[in-house]
Each structure stands twice: as structure tokens, then as C-alpha cells.
Structure 1
Amino acid sequence: MGPVPVNRWAGPLLRAGLVLLGALHVSWGIPAVAAPRWFFDHFPGFGQTWTAAYPPFNVHLMTDVGAAFLTLGALLLAAAWLADQRVTRVVLGGVLLFSGIHLAFHLSHRGTLAGGGLVASLVSLALGVLAPGALLVLTRWPRA
């Protein structure tokens, strides 16, 4: 078996994916920390209230969730900035672990969600597992 071929698109796609995931996590974390009640009542927005489907509201829990999102976002953005394969793999592995556990919980606990809201929430959570998994695969290609 020869060396893995260099893919000139792997690096830019990986960095763009890290920045996108990092920005998403930060955008969820800031309101959860700064305005936990608002986050609970309105996340993810667009007329959907997925978090409120799991009552009761708990300011401590919402702030902790926000801290987790902010931490993951900061780590994803740092991995994009550093462009170090080992750092990127560790960060993506952590995001994948968090996202997998989060998805597993929601697959077995539906709260008051039903119909389209339930499907949309599960699809978004599944994408939260698939995206870092796909980026992790991209780390296997040497950069051009």
C-alpha cells in the first residue's frame, strides 16, 4: 500500500468546517450564558422551542450548557487557527463525543416535542454528529 494521496481541498474544507462549527457553538453558547431564560424559551428560534420542550427551566443547567457550547466553539476555532492535525483530531473527537451523547439522550427522551419539531431536532442533532465525523475523516489526508 502506497502513501495516501494529497488532497488539495482537504485542508481548506477542514478549516472552513472547523470555523463553521466553532461559530455555531459560540452562537448557541453566548445566549445560553448571557440570557439563560431567553435561550430556554426560544432555542433554536425560527418559531421552534426545542429546549423549552424539556421543562422545568433551570438557570444553572442552561448556563452550564452555554459554557459547554462556548468551550467547544472556542476549541473548534482554535483548531482552525492552529491547523495542527493532532489538536484538530482531539478537538473533533471531543465534539463528536459530546454530540453523540447529546443525540443518544434525545433519541430516547422526546420531552414534549412531536411531529416536525421532533424530526427537525433529531436531524439537527444527527448532523451535529455527522459534521465533526466527516471533518475527522478529512484529517486523514495530508495537506498539499
Structure 2
Amino acid sequence: MLALLTATLGVWAGFAPLSFYEHGPLPFPDTGWVAMLPPYNEHLVRDYGFMNLGMTVVFVAAAIRLTPALVRTSTAALFVFAVPHTVFHSFHLHHLSAAEAATQTISIVVPTVVLPAVVFLMASGLKQAEIKA
């Protein structure tokens, strides 16, 4: 799930940065939230996309190897980005309606903080032998 999320964002922002800026960050529906915090910077959007593709590689490796250490490391790496990103957006909601603010907050917190936290905690409770069994 985390690999799918980062791959989707990565391909879109990395290869179609203006589209991501104008219509993103959710592919469905067309939110345009990124464009609400201008200005557009192609370099920055592409870097964000390719950073997400880099994280995709890490998540795929963690899913294939399925070692507790790699799963925890991959989710911890996402937290380094996701927590400050979530805090930033929590303080920059003035340009959104109440419904958009709630939707944006949920769409950031659930896939990038809650889901990885659950995966991290699950991996922390497992021993290597339990995963490979």
C-alpha cells in the first residue's frame, strides 16, 4: 500500500509536474490543493516526485525482504517527511473550506502517518523467525 502511494505520487509529480501542481495531490477528485500554495516550481515538484519514487524502491524492498528492521526503517524514513509535512498543512488551512480542510487533513494523516505507524508497530512486535515462517 505504501509503495503504491509513493509510486503514484512519484510518477505523477516526477513526470507531469505541472499537472500535479494544478490538480494534485489526489488523483481522484481533482483537488488543486498544491496550486493553492504558490508559486509553481517545476524543479521542486519534480524533486518531490522522484523522492517518492525513491521511497517506492525502499517500500518494495521492505515488502520483498520482509525483515522487521527494514520495515521499521522504511516507515521511519517516511515519518521524516510525513510528520513535518502534516504539521505544515495543519497550520495552513485558511485557504480551504471546512470540508476541504477536513478532507485534506484526513488524506494526509491516514496514508502517511497512521498507516505507516500501524506497519511500524506491527513490525516492531515480530521476530525475524515469525515473519519468515
User: Do both share a fold (TM > 0.5)?
Assistant: yes
- Give the whole-Å Cα distance in 2 for the aligned partners of 1:129 and 1:49: 22
Q: Distance in 2 between matches of 1:61 and 1:109?
A: 19
Which of 97, 102, 127 is 1:119 aligned to?
A: 102
Aligned equivalent of 1:98, options 38, 57, 81: 81
Q: Calculate the aligned-residue CA RMSD, in Å.
A: 1.4
129-138 or 67-76, which moves further after superposition? 67-76
Offset at 1:112? Answer: 2.5
User: Does the Cα contact within 8 Å between 1:22 and 1:76 map onto a contact in 2?
Assistant: yes
The aligned residue for residue 138 of structure 1 is 122
Instruction: Pick the aligned partner of 1:77 from 60, 73, 82.
Output: 60
State the SS of the aligned residue for 1:48: coil
Query: Partners of 1:93 and 1:124 in 2: how far apart?
Result: 19
TM-score between the two structures when normalised by the length of structure 1:
0.80
CA offset at residue 111 of structure 1? 6.1
Which has more radius of gyration?
Answer: 1
In 1, the alpha carbon distance for the partners of 2:60 and 2:82 equals 17
Q: Name stretches of at least 5 consecutive residues in structure 2 with no aligned partner.
A: none
* TM superposition shift of 1:115: 2.2
Q: 1:28 & 1:41 partners in 2: Cα distance?
A: 14
Q: Is the 8 A contact 1:53 1:111 kept in 2?
A: no
Looking at structure 2, the residues matched to 39 and 47 of structure 1 have their Cα atoms a distance apart, in angstroms, of 10
Q: 1:109 offset after TM fit, Å? A: 1.9
Higher RCO structure, 1 or 2 (CA under 8 Å, sep 6+) = 1
5 Å matches for 1:21-100? 21-43=2-24, 44-45=26-27, 46-100=29-83
Q: TM-score by structure 2 length?
A: 0.87
Q: How many residues align?
A: 125
Write out the 4+ residue segments of structure 1 that deviate beyond 6 Å after TM superposition: none
Determine what percentage of the aligned residue pairs are the same residue: 26
